[in-house]
Amino acid sequence: MNEIAVPNDCRAIALMNIQSYAGGTKFTNKGRSDDGLIEIVFFTNIIRMATSAVLSPIMPFLRFRVAAQSSKVCIRINQPLHCQVDGEPWLQKEAIFQISHFGRSTILRRKKSSSNCADQSSVEHSSFSDGTHCSSSMESD
């Protein structure tokens, strides 16, 4: 496993499995949602981050450089650190995060035999790559 030094002036680290962040802002030019890799981006300046969010659609050179890409990432936290996943913040105590790309899952899809779920009962069943299953049913009134 390769180690990457976090820059001394780093204010935030983003691990992204899609190209957008913070409400759809495209912060990098690198990476695809279907490549199986996690992009690691270091943010060093909040003003540059805000400028990039506003201007990068018309000025792509303002986007951030991807420090690395990997299918697995390990982060060791030695002191309390503010964290956020999908918009949910928390204060994390000393820990080790092991993050890996887990494949793809279909969450919502239309049942092939039904053109309108209000016309008839339908049951949708999804299997996820971690072995869990989810079933949902919709019944017409």
Same domain? For 96 and 28 the reply is yes
pLDDT for 103: 67
pLDDT for 127: 45
Q: What are 23-58's pLDDT values in tens digits?
A: 777 777 777 777 888 888 888 887 877 777 777 667
Q: Which domain, by its residues, includes 121?
A: 106-141
Same domain? For 67 and 126 the reply is no
Same domain? For 46 and 74 the reply is yes
Same domain? For 33 and 66 the reply is yes
Report yes or no on whether pTM surpasses 0.85: no
Computed over every residue of the chain, the mean pLDDT equals 74
Q: What are 87-123's pLDDT values in tens digits?
A: 899 999 999 999 887 766 666 666 776 555 444 444 4
What is the per-residue DSSP string for the chain?
A: ----PPPTT--EEEEESSSEETTTEE--S---TTSS-EEEEEE--HHHHHHHHHHTTT-GGGSPPP-EEESEEEEEE-S-EEEEETTEEEEE-SEEEEEE-----------TT-S-TTTS-EEEEEE-TTS-EEEEEE---
Same domain? For 26 and 90 the reply is yes
